[in-house]
Every structure is written in C-alpha cells, then in structure tokens.
C-alpha cells in the first residue's frame, strides 16, 4: 500500500470515531487529539480500527508515535514495509 493509501485509510478510521469532523481539514502536523477532541477511548478505538484495516498490531509502547497524522502514516508505512 502506498503512503497515500495508508493516509486515506487512517482518515477513514478517524472518520468512524469522529463522524462529525471535517476530515479534509485535518492538518498533518498538529496532534490529532487536539484537532478532533479524542479521548483515550477514541484512541484505543483508533488503534483497533487501524489493526482491522491494515493488519498492523500496534503495541502500547508505540502509541506515542501516533500523535499526528503524518507521524501515523510514517509509522504504519514502516510497519507494513516488507
């Protein structure tokens, strides 16, 4: 999957968690938590959603690498690299 594909998937998972959000306006470099008002339950659902969509099991110690959309995409691309 390309980086764009990963980005689109991440946005789609976020869309399920924050259905009222304007995903087109999400900035890549600002913490997602602040832009979308996510709490710890939302973040857990986000990780579960990413796992379901991309088959990547994200351990708790890596949650800190998912702070921004850009960071998420980079992390997931790295995990999915052959």
Residue from 2, 4, 20, 24 in contact with another protein (CB under 8 A): 20
Which of 51/80 has CB closer to another protein?
A: 51
29 forms part of the interface with another protein (CB under 8 A): no
**Which residue, chain included where needed, has tokens 């990963």?**
6
44 forms part of the interface with another protein (CB under 8 A): yes
48 forms part of the interface with another protein (CB under 8 A): yes
> How far apart, in whole angstroms, are the C-alpha atoms of residue 57 and residue 26?
24
Mention every residue, 6+ apart, whose C-beta is less than 8 A from residue 61: none
Smallest distance, another protein to C-beta of residue 24, A: 18
Name the packing angle between helices 3-17 and 40-54 (round to 10°). 140
Q: How many CB atoms lie within 10 A of CB 28?
A: 12
37 forms part of the interface with another protein (CB under 8 A): yes
Provide the binding-site residues for another protein, judged by CB under 8 A.
18-20, 37, 39-41, 44-45, 47-48, 51, 57-60
């Amino acid at each position: 999957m390309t980086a764009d594909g990963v980005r689109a998937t991440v946005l789609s998972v976020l869309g399920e968690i924050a259905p009222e959000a304007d995903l087109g306006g999400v900035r890549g470099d600002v913490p997602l938590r602040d832009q979308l008002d996510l709490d710890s339950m939302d973040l857990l659902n986000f990780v579960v959603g990413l796992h379901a969509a991309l088959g990547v099991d994200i351990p708790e110690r890596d949650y800190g690498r998912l702070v921004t959309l850009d960071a998420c995409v980079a992390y997931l691309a790295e995990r999915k690299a052959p």
